[in-house]
Amino acid sequence: MDLEPLLNKNPNNMKAQRFLLSLLLCWGLATLLWAQRSTGLQPGDEAPDFELKNVDGQLVSLADYKQAKGFIIVFTCNHCPFAKLYEDRIIALHNKYAPKGFPVVAINPNDATKQPEDSFEMMIQRAQEKSFPYVYLQDATQEIARTYGAARTPHVWILQKQDNKLKVAYVGGIDNSPEDPANATEKYVERAIEELLAGRVVSKNTTKAIGCTIKWRN
Amino acid sequence: MQLKTKCFCHLMWLLLVSYWLPLSCYSQQVTVVNIEQVTDLMQNQSDTVYVVNFWATWCAPCVKELPEFVQLHEAYQNRKVRVQLISIDFRSALESSLKPLLQRKNITCPVWLLNNTDYDSWINRIEESWQGEIPFTLIFNNQRRKRVVISGQTDFHHLEKLIGEML
Q: How many CB atoms lie within 10 A of CB B160?
A: 15
Q: Distance between the two ends of chain A, CA-based, in angstroms?
A: 46
Contacts of B92 in chain A (CB under 8 A): 179
Whether the CB of A155 is below 8 Å from some CB of chain B: the reply is yes
Helix, strand, coil percentages (3-state) for chain A, rounded to 5, are 40, 20, 40
A123 shares a domain with A184: yes
Work out how many domains chain B is built from and give that number: 1
A155–B119 C-beta distance less than 8 A: no
Distance CA(B53)–CA(B83), nearest Å, equals: 8
pLDDT tens-digit series, residues A108-142: 999 999 999 999 999 999 999 999 999 999 999 99
Look at residue B11 in the predicted model and tell me its pLDDT. Answer: 62
Q: Does B131 touch chain A (CB under 8 A)?
A: yes
Instruction: Give the dihedral of Cα atoms A88, A94, A95, A96; nearest 10 deg.
Output: 110
Q: Phi, psi at residue A176, to the nearest 5°?
A: -105, 25
The answer to whether residue B65 scores a pLDDT higher than 50 is yes
CA distance A184 to A92: 15
Residue B87 lies in a domain: yes
CA distance B65 to B53: 10
Number of structural domains found in chain A: 2
Predicted confidence at residue B21, as pLDDT, reads: 47
A55 and A33 in a common domain: no
Structural domain boundaries enclosing A79: 51-213
Note the pLDDT of residue A90.
98
**CA B33/CA B25 separation, integer angstroms:** 22
Q: Is residue B135 part of a domain?
A: yes
pLDDT of residue A35: 46
pLDDT surpassing 50 at residue A85? yes
Q: Which structural domain range is residue B71 located in?
A: 28-164
Q: Is residue B123 part of a domain?
A: yes
**Is A177 a domain residue?**
yes
Which sign, positive or negative, has the C-alpha torsion A158, A160, A166, A170?
negative
Sheet holding B111-114: strands in order across? B30-33, B111-114, B81-87, B49-55, B136-141, B146-151
pLDDT tens for residues A104-116? 999 999 999 999 9
pLDDT of residue A39: 74
Is the model's pLDDT at B49 over the cut of 80?
yes
> For residue B16, is it within any domain?
no
Residue A109 φ then ψ, to 5°: -95, 0
- CA B98 to chain centroid, in Å, comes to 14
B116: domain CATH number is: 3.40.30.10
Determine the pLDDT at residue B55. Answer: 98
Buried b (16+ CB within 10 A) or exposed e, A160-191: beeeeebbbbbbbbbbbbbeeeeebebbbbbe
Task: Say which CATH number the domain at A64 has.
Answer: 3.40.30.10
| Residue A151: inside a domain | yes
- Please say if the pLDDT value at position B54 is more than 80: yes
Residue B120, chain A, CB below 8 Å: the answer is: yes
Same domain, A25 and A70: no
Q: Which amino acid is at B136?
A: F
Q: Which residues contact B38 (CB under 8 A, 6 or more apart)?
A: B86, B112, B114, B122, B126
The reply to whether A33 and A71 lie within a common domain is: no
Helix/strand/coil percentages in chain B, nearest 5: 50, 20, 30
- A22, pLDDT greater than 80: no
Is A111 an 8 Å CB contact of chain B?
no
Distance CA B5, CA A201 (A): 81
CA neighbours within 13 Å on the CB side: how many for A42?
6
pLDDT confidence tier of residue B24, bands split at 50, 70 and 90: very low
In a domain, A152, yes or no: yes
Q: What is the mean pLDDT of residues B43-58?
A: 97
Residue B48 is assigned to a structural domain of this protein: yes
The answer on pLDDT for A25 being more than 90 is no
Residues 70-99 (B) with a CB less than 8 A from some CB of A: 88, 90, 92
pLDDT of residue A74: 98
Give the per-residue pLDDT at A197: 98
Identify the H or E element spanning B40.
Answer: helix B35-42
pLDDT higher than threshold 90 for residue A4 = no
Q: What is the pLDDT of residue B2?
A: 59
Predicted pLDDT at A18: 73
Which pLDDT value is given to residue A195? 98
Beta carbons of B162 and B74 less than 8 angstroms apart? no
Domain assignment of residue A174, yes or no: yes
Residues A29-73: pLDDT tens digits?
A: 555 545 444 579 999 999 999 999 999 999 999 999 999 999 999
Residue B65 lies in a domain: yes
The pLDDT of residue B7 is 60
Q: Is the pLDDT of residue B17 over 90?
A: no
Instruction: Determine the pLDDT at residue B23.
Output: 44
Three-class DSSP category at A189: helix
CA distance A111 to chain B (A): 14
Instruction: Render pLDDT for B73-119 as a digit per residue (tens, 0 to 9).
Output: 999 999 999 999 999 999 999 999 999 999 999 998 899 999 999 99
pLDDT at A1 over 60: no
Q: Which of residues 13-52 of B touch A (CB under 8 A)?
A: none
Q: Chain A within 8 Å of B101 (Cβ-Cβ)?
A: no
Q: Are residues A124 and A195 in the same domain?
A: yes
Residues A203 and A135 in one domain: yes
User: Both A11 and A118 in a single domain?
Assistant: no
**Would residue B2 count as lying in a domain?**
no
